[in-house]
Amino acid sequence: MIEIQGPAASGKTEFLYHLAACCVLPKEVLIASASIHAGRTVPIGGWNKSVIVLDCDGRWNIRRLHDILFTRLNIAFSGANFPPNPNPPQNASSVAKDSLKHLHIFRPTSSFQLASTIVYLSKYHTEKMPNEEVGLLIVDSISSFYWSDRWQVESSSSKRRFNPIAPVLRALQTFRISHGPVVILSNWGLNPLPSGTTPTPFFRQHLPPPFPAPLDDSLRQAPLGQGNILPLTKHITLPFPFVAQLQLSEHSRAIDHLEEALSDLRRKEVVYKGLIKGYTRIPLTDSPTQQIARRSKCGIFNFRILEHDVSGAPGSIESSTEMVCTNKFYVWGILCTEILLFRTNETRPACL
């Protein structure tokens, strides 16, 4: 299970578009040419698997994902150097549309609907997509119903408070075990993680236990019988680029409140103007008794959100940096490469 955490307009959904595109694109495409009898294959580098998206924010844009697929396929096909064919049996547009058939989107409007939808996914897979393998299960965002859930819990007169996030985690874990997808949860970044006098790009976990928070600077006690329902494998932090590196237009600088800059009308302006830097961390233990104090360098990757693609930037993976991180219980490590590493050379596969 991978958690992608960051504030609004930090690029979380765009990064999910990248992962979804990698998943639904084919591994290779057979192209026939008018001047040759045998077809040739173009390596695309995708997983050729299906993606299930639980779009809790209602922001997923199919046209945006199609643009990303189309752009990457065009790059792959243009680099194949085929003889001209006036009627190619396969082109970037048709392959992109076929790839989108492997995308399945649900839009729950409450934590109860989210948990019920995940429980229903096994039946949906059997009836609607029996010949497809689920590569990714994405929840965007797991925090969408945080405030409404919190209000319900705090206004309840019952002495035994019901935690709406627990059934969601149980359902995710059940589906993960039965179908084996990579589970990716996007999450808000609300409360910066304190680190003395040194600024930190990380955030404390605001979702209540039993939601995993192995990288917080303090241990959290989960309710009895609800500990570690869905263990966290890797954690990605996307800090807000507005503060660190973006130069806004005169119109944007004239606004009175930061909240206005994060509205839908300005999201594109805020996100598209610069390099997005992501930080990766890997929890090394789930046991609160293993209190290790160790210093480790953070894994860092960079990417850019372009008009028609999400692309890696030069130096996109740094195995070592000058920023040294300390944590009382966990070592901050470098994210494994099998999921999200970008390639920046000209001959990279289209999905990367």
Span of 43-47, 80-84, 214-218, 278-282 with lowest mean pLDDT: 80-84
User: Residue 267 burial (CB < 10 Å; 0-12/13-18/19+)?
Assistant: middle
- Residue 214: pLDDT band by 50, 70, 90 thresholds? confident
Does the pLDDT of residue 331 top 80, yes or no? no
The answer as to whether 162 is a domain residue is yes
Tokens of 345: 């050379």
Q: What is the mean pLDDT of residues 205-220?
A: 78
Does the pLDDT of residue 79 top 50, yes or no? yes
C-beta separation of 283 from 23 below 8 A: no
The answer as to whether 338 is a domain residue is no
Output the 3-class SS for 301-335: EEEEECCCCEEEEEEEEECCCCCEEEECCCCCCCC
Q: What is the pTM of this model?
A: 0.79
The answer as to whether 173 is a domain residue is yes
Q: Which of 186, 340, 180, 214 is nearest to 287 (CA)?
A: 214
The answer as to whether 317 is a domain residue is no
DSSP code at position 38:
S
Q: What residue type is assigned to position 96 of the chain?
A: A
Q: What is the mean pLDDT of residues 244-252?
A: 42
Q: What is the mean pLDDT of residues 121-147?
A: 96
User: Residue 213 burial (CB < 10 Å; 0-12/13-18/19+)?
Assistant: buried
The answer as to whether 344 is a domain residue is no
The answer as to whether 350 is a domain residue is no
The answer as to whether 307 is a domain residue is no
Q: What is the mean pLDDT of residues 78-107?
A: 78
Sign of the Cα pseudo-torsion (287, 288, 291, 294, in order): positive
C-beta separation of 189 from 4 below 8 A: no
Give the tens place of pLDDT for each residue, 289-326: 444 433 334 688 888 888 889 887 554 444 433 333 33
Count of the separate structural domains present in the chain: 1
Q: What is the mean pLDDT of residues 99-113?
A: 97
The answer as to whether 184 is a domain residue is yes
Does the pLDDT of residue 343 top 50, yes or no? no
Give the tens place of pLDDT for each residue, 260-289: 545 555 555 555 556 788 888 887 654 444
Q: What is the mean pLDDT of residues 191-204?
A: 77
Pairing of strands 103-106, 50-55: parallel
- Residue 351: pLDDT band by 50, 70, 90 thresholds? very low
Bin 145: left if φ > 0, else alpha if -120 < ψ < 50, else beta: alpha
> What CATH number is given to the structural domain containing 46?
3.40.50
Mean pLDDT of the chain: 75
Does the pLDDT of residue 177 top 90, yes or no? yes
119 is in which domain, residue-wise?
2-240
